[in-house]
Structure formats: structure tokens, C-alpha cells
Structure 1
Amino acid sequence: MTALLDVIMPVFLVIGFGYAAARFGLFSDSAVDGVMRFAQNFALPCLLFRSIATLDLSGAYDSGLLLSFYGGAFSGFALCFLGARYLFNRPLTDSVAIGFAGLFSNTLLLGLPITERAYGPEALQGNFAIISIHSPMLYAFGISLMEWARTRGQGLSPSALTRQVVQAIFSQPLVIGIAIGFVVNLSGLPLPGAFWSGIDLMSRAAIPAALFGLGGVLFRYRPEGDKATIAMICAASLIVHPGVTWILGVKVFGLGTDALRSAVVTAAMAPGVNAYLFAHLYGVAKRVNASAVLIATALSITSTWMWLAILP
């Protein structure tokens, strides 16, 4: 009960505050969009830049940590893609988008603050290692698969497909922030204290603004239809992904306590809003993914409590 009250509930209360503000007309759609644009395009890239720029790269990138987390992620994708395609007879493009919802967990807006509240800021090294390759790798995978599904038989050249994927990935502010962070980290470029102070101010605003805005965004979604498909995505995100990650981390790679916590807590998060945005980008499975994001986010209050109880 202490874990629920002290760790999980403050995060979801901020989300609920944003949801209620939008629900009762205290925060307009345009205001919600503005907050999310500020968070995703400016504040969160600053947070990621600072974290990657100061990250101990030699200690953070544990192959067992990454293989455990992403082994779980791609297990979630396989379950949702194959289930959508062969169990629910969805078109191939729908199946890719639904698979992406099972793949793309909310590592940044939920995984980061919950891990920090549960285990302290010093426990976040593994989180940032996961996050640093999360969007680039998973978007590259999802976009490549979707473009293949959309253009089968149309003769799209590999070079044209590669250009589309690279352009889509490196137009994302989060990826830009991560990339610049790596440049500063690897080059050892000295930056003035005033610059870091400004980055710190932006970074401290990132998570609260993003969580509040996420509540407003979730209000727009309505859980409609396709209940079995939505349930499959929720199971993949909240049970299969963290479950496979835990098994690999404990039984195969023997992860240390901090690495196991970062991997499993991050894996246990609901699908990120990016799962809906990906579906919206291609105009497929939008209702399913939007509903899955909303329902899984609500269910993750309980499922996260369970995983926190299991972890050392």
C-alpha cells in the first residue's frame, strides 16, 4: 500500500488533474496541444539531452539490460501483430499499427518518474540507456514494416524506403535531443555553467508538464469497440513485456538489482501516446490504439503496483 500511495499515485494524480481540467472545460484542446508541444518539442528533449550528455556510457549500456527489455518489447509486438492478423483477421497495415502498440511502452512519461519515485534519481542510469535508443530503434522498425506493408508490389526501392525512415526518425525533437547529448558526451565539449542552469530549468518542467498534458490528451480518447483486440494490447504491454523482461533479466542475464528494476518497471508501462500517433500517421487502427492507450494507462496503476512488489 505504501508503494501505491507514495510512488504510483502522485504520478497518476498529475495525469488525472490534466484529465479533469480537460473534462470540465478548464483547459481547452488548444491549450492541451500547447502544453504537449512544449513538453515533447522542447522540455523533454532538454531533459534527454542533459541525461545523455552526462551519462556514464561505459557503465550504462549493459547488453543484458537492453536485451532483456527489448526482448520483452518485441515479444509484445509479435503477440499483437500475429493476433491482429491471424486471430482477428485485420488488414496487414492495421496489424502493424496494433503490433506497434504492443511494442512501444511509455518509457519516458511514466517509466522515468515511477522509477525515480520508487528507487531514487541514482537508479535511473538504466532507464536512460533504454530511452536513448527506444524511439530511434522502434520507430525505424515500425516505419520500415509499415512502409513495406503499404507498398508491397509497388516496387519501392530500398534507398527510397531508407530515406523515408531516416527522415521520419530524425525529424523528432526527442531523437534530436538524444543525438546532441551523445555528441556532447563523446566529444567532452565544455559548456558554460549558465547554459547548464538553463537546461536544468527546462528539464525540471518536462515531466510535470508532460504528465498534465497527457491527462488532457487521454480525455479525447473513447474506449469503443474491438474489445478483444484492446485487451490483447493491454495484456502484451502490462504482462507479457515486463514478464519476458523479468525472466530474461533474472534467469538468462543475471541482472543486478538496479538494472533489473529499470528494465522491468520501464517494460511494465502502458503503451505511449506514440502508439496512437503512429496509427494516426498512417490512418489505420486509430480507434483501437487510442482506446488501448487510455485503458492500459488506467490499468497500469494496479499492474505497476504488482511489479513493484515483485522486484527486489
Structure 2
Amino acid sequence: MLAVFLQTIPFFLIIGLGYGAGRSGFFPEAATAWLTKFVFYFALSAMLLRFSANLSLAEAFDLDFVLAYALASLAIYLLATLIAILRRLSVAEAAVEAQCAVIGNVGFLGLPMLAMLMGEAAIAPVMMVLAVDLMVFGSLIVILITGSRDGRMSLAVLGTVGIGLLKNPMIVSIVLGLSWSASGWPLPSVANDFLVLLGGAATPGALFAIGASLASKSAERPVIAGYLSFCKLVLHPAAVAVAALVLFPIAPYPAAVMIAAAALPVAGNVYILAQHYGVAPQRVSASILISTALAVVTLSLVIGWANTLY
């Protein structure tokens, strides 16, 4: 466990460096926004495109894996929703809190960290987790918030969800990469080298951007944020572990990666959605800040345990 903790420290040190740069004003919010855009649209997309282009469809999609992760996540999603309803929150607020409980920072933190700590073979399972998060739960929150405000479901809402998925560079990169892989042609060496070089900026860029973005976050309503962080860092990986190790026939290595991915702190894109719709952005902000701070310890513990499974 100590060895894994020491291996994760450099990742969180870069996050801390970004936080310090943002907190001091040396790296203003505008700079953070542009760095995030670069990582999201270019560096991280290049990394995903290269990895997916070298995967077979069988490696990139496992129905049992997807079902195990999706159903375990749904169980925690429904639990958080039920607790929100018992607290007499609106449907929109319940959807946002449930999103905090199950959506981790897979793209910016999980992909680079798990690829380095658990090997490049972790990329395929992480991509499946990312796809479920974006396509299932990313769509669900938009449908719930918009539907609750309109009082009904409409084709316009579904159209908005579909367009959002088509515009997401991570989804596009994975689809393009798998399409290239399906052609049976190897990536030309020039293209591969280009993607390696550009994708190499994803890890430090993403980690620094996470830290810089946390500098503008506040820890208002820490009790609720602490409860949501507990859901994300403890309950979510526990539910995924039960699904992957008991309920579904998942091989030890992808099961370990799935559990580790479930232990990631709350994702920044939950805040973007909360802010966009004007639903509890301060609550989400505090959840991201607290869960990321606690993940320095909890994520190391989960990864260390997961590594003993294979």
C-alpha cells in the first residue's frame, strides 16, 4: 500500500502545483480555462485516439464489464437520489447530487494515472468506464433536469443529448480510433509519433488544470459535500467491487481497473453542468474540492488493494 501511495504522490503534487498557481493568481481562471480546453480537445483526445486505434473491438467492449459497472453505478445513483428526495430536494438537485456520487474524474485523472500505475492495458477498461459515464449518466442528468423543468420529455431534449455526445471530443476520438482499428490498417509511424507527442501533454496538463480549477472552488456546505464525497470515494468503488467480483464474470485485471476507476474523486464536468443549469453549483464545487483532497489517501488504498486481485 505504501508503495502505491508513493507512486500516486507525484500526480497529486502536480495537482497541488496547479492549485498553488491558481490560488496565488499567477495562473488566472482564464488561463485555466484555455489550458483545460487544450487538454480536452487536443492532448487527451490524441491519447485516446492512439490507444483506441491500436485496440480491437473485442478489447474495447465487454458487455459483462459494461453491465457490471453501469448497474453498480446505477445502484449508488438511485441511493443518492432517494436520500435527496427524503431531504425534499427538487428533481434537478437530486440529479446533480446523484451525479456527484458516481461520476469520477476519469478523463483528466483516471486515464493518465491508471495507465501509468496499472499499465497501458488499463486503457481499454478505463475507456469503457468513460463511455458509460458520458453516454449513460451524462445523458441522464440532462434529461432529468430539462424534463423536470419542462414537465415532460420532448424530442428536443433527446436531440440536445445526442448533439452533446457528438460534440464530445473524447467520444469522437474513441469512435475514430476504433474505426481505424476495424480497418485492419496499422497507424502510419508519422501519425503514431504525432499522437504520442501530443498525447504526452495530457498527463501533466490535465493534472495541472485540475489543481488550477480547484483554486476557484469553495467548501461551502461541507457536511453535504462530505457525504457526497463518501458516496463517490467509498460506496461507489464498493458497489463496483461487488458487481465485478461477485455478480458478473469479470476477469481479475479489468475488475481491478474498474474498481480503481470507480474510486476517483468527483469530476469537474459535474460542476460545469451544475453551473450551466444553475443547480447547486456551490455544493458540487465543495464536493470536488473535498473528494479530491481525500482521494490522496483513499485512491491509493483502493488501487493498492485492487492490485492484489491479479
**TM-score interval, smaller chain:** over 0.9
CA distance in structure 2 between the partners assigned to 1:47 and 1:196 by the alignment: 10
Seen in structure 2, the aligned counterparts of structure 1 residues 195 and 164 have a Cα distance that, compared at 3 Å, is same
Tell me whether 171-180 or 239-248 shows the greater mean CA deviation: 171-180
Contact 1:11 1:113 in 2 (8 A): no
Deviation at 1:133, TM superposition (A): 4.0
Letter of the structure 2 residue corresponding to residue 199 of structure 1: L
SS of corresponding position for 2:266? coil
CA distance in structure 1 between the partners assigned to 2:93 and 2:133 by the alignment: 22
Letter of the structure 2 residue corresponding to residue 108 of structure 1: G
Letter of the structure 2 residue corresponding to residue 216 of structure 1: A
The equivalent residue for 1:167 is 163
CA distance in structure 1 between the partners assigned to 2:274 and 2:234 by the alignment: 22
CA distance in structure 2 between the partners assigned to 1:69 and 1:156 by the alignment: 27
Deviation at 1:191, TM superposition (A): 4.8
SS of corresponding position for 1:55? coil
The equivalent residue for 1:240 is 235
Q: How does 1:60-99 map to 2 (within 5 A)?
A: 60-86=60-86, 88-99=87-98
Q: How does 1:1-312 map to 2 (within 5 A)?
A: 1-6=2-7, 8-86=8-86, 88-152=87-151, 157=154, 159-188=155-184, 191-225=187-221, 227-311=222-306, 312=308
SS of corresponding position for 1:275? helix
Q: Deviations over 1:102-152 (max 9, x none)?
A: 121111222223323332223333222322443123222221222211211
Structure 1 segments unaligned to the other structure (5+ residues): none
Letter of the structure 2 residue corresponding to residue 215 of structure 1: G
Contact 2:135 2:165 in 1 (8 A): yes
CA distance in structure 1 between the partners assigned to 2:78 and 2:89 by the alignment: 14
Contact 2:36 2:209 in 1 (8 A): yes
CA distance in structure 1 between the partners assigned to 2:62 and 2:186 by the alignment: 27
CA distance in structure 2 between the partners assigned to 1:59 and 1:92 by the alignment: 37
Contact 1:237 1:270 in 2 (8 A): yes
Deviation at 1:217, TM superposition (A): 0.2
Letter of the structure 2 residue corresponding to residue 128 of structure 1: M
Deviation at 1:78, TM superposition (A): 1.4
Letter of the structure 2 residue corresponding to residue 113 of structure 1: P
Seen in structure 2, the aligned counterparts of structure 1 residues 13 and 78 have a Cα distance that, compared at 3 Å, is same
Contact 1:72 1:267 in 2 (8 A): no
Seen in structure 2, the aligned counterparts of structure 1 residues 35 and 260 have a Cα distance that, compared at 3 Å, is same
Q: Deviations over 1:265-300 (max 9, x none)?
A: 000111110111111121111010111011001111
Deviation at 1:156, TM superposition (A): 5.2
TM-score normalised over the length of structure 2: 0.92
Q: Deviations over 1:219-255 (max 9, x none)?
A: 1001012x33212211211111100111111112242
Tell me whether 29-38 or 59-68 shows the greater mean CA deviation: 59-68
Question: Among the aligned pairs, what percent are the same residue?
Answer: 25
Deviation at 1:190, TM superposition (A): 5.7
Seen in structure 2, the aligned counterparts of structure 1 residues 242 and 293 have a Cα distance that, compared at 3 Å, is same
Seen in structure 2, the aligned counterparts of structure 1 residues 309 and 174 have a Cα distance that, compared at 3 Å, is closer
Deviation at 1:176, TM superposition (A): 2.0
Contact 1:52 1:132 in 2 (8 A): no
CA distance in structure 1 between the partners assigned to 2:175 and 2:254 by the alignment: 23
CA distance in structure 2 between the partners assigned to 1:2 and 1:80 by the alignment: 34
